[in-house]
Amino acid sequence: MLGPPGAGKGTQAARLAKLWRIPHISTGAMLREAVAAGTPLGLQVKAIMESGGLIDDDVITQLVYARLDRPDAEGGFLLDGFPRTVPQAEALDRFCQKRGPLTIVDVFVSEADILRRLAARMICSECGINSQDDRDYTFCHDCGGRLVPRADDKAEVVKNRLAVYHTQTAPLVDFYSSRPTYCRIDGAQLADQVTDAIIAAVVPRP
């Protein structure tokens, strides 16, 4: 799934992974777990994440490769947060040569909407999942943990994340857009409408 920070990729990925019974592989959640655990990788990336930067291509690619090689991903997987650069996309293509075709969902949201969304976004302090229910900003719908603001959603960090996205991640649209498996979805719709649009674009009609 492609799209700028705050486009709703995490929310849609979690929904679709449950619907299709495939693992939702969020590199952001994997990295936050490493930070919380105080692993060497976590210590290495903590400062980068809090400043809104991107992790080194080789480090994140190896992390993703290891996750995709697990048995639960053999029947398919849903990537959220990877690839974020063209070199990462090229590495993913190499990995997918032994799998089925890669489907790319590009969730588009205007910058004004992104800034508004991120100003109010919350994350679970226990499991690291973004809040998916606009009606409840207290507890996680998934594990019951308390919701807290994301450290990387502060105004100055958001602006840096958007700048990083435009320079390093937006070129992925050019990399993928000519493929028959690429689809662009209007992310400004209600969450249920975005889900329906993705399913209509991705699932083959009988």
Rounded CA gap, 199 and 56, in Å? 32
Positions of the chain with pLDDT under 70: 54, 119-121, 128-137, 149-155, 205-206
Spans of all domains in the chain:
9-202
Convert the pLDDT of each residue in 58-115 to its tens digit. 888 888 888 888 899 999 999 988 998 899 999 999 999 888 889 999 999 988 888 7
First to last CA, the chain: 24
Domain boundaries 9-202, corresponding CATH code: 3.40.50.300
For the entire predicted model, the pTM comes to 0.73
Residues recognised as catalytic: 9, 84, 121, 150, 161
Q: Residue 19's pLDDT is what? A: 94
Q: Are 5 and 118 in contact (CB under 8 A)?
A: yes
